[in-house]
Structure 1
């Protein structure tokens, strides 16, 4: 998921198109912001994995 998101961002960046995330104040045309976006994406992916794991555990334990 992260790789796909970053791939599209980099593809747009290569043709001079940036994405600006207002809430996070991230401009994908800025190198530092791309690093920050990568970190946020990794954290979101880990959170999703953890939720899925906890859901599976709950189903197995019938909670």
Structure 2
């Protein structure tokens, strides 16, 4: 009997730790802050994307 209780407790602690381990990610289209200012986004790829969007937008407006 104590072994079954231990297994059930171990199972529930494992499930709870997995559910709390996932970081909260803001998935809305307009985040409340700039990822670049927070230091989360770095690199040339984002700069190239912003530059290409700046040149494409006037063509479609």
More helix by share: 1
Q: TM-score range by the shorter chain?
A: 0.3 to 0.5
Point out the structure with max Rg over C-alpha. 2
Higher RCO (CA < 8 A, seq sep 6+): 1
More strand by share: 1
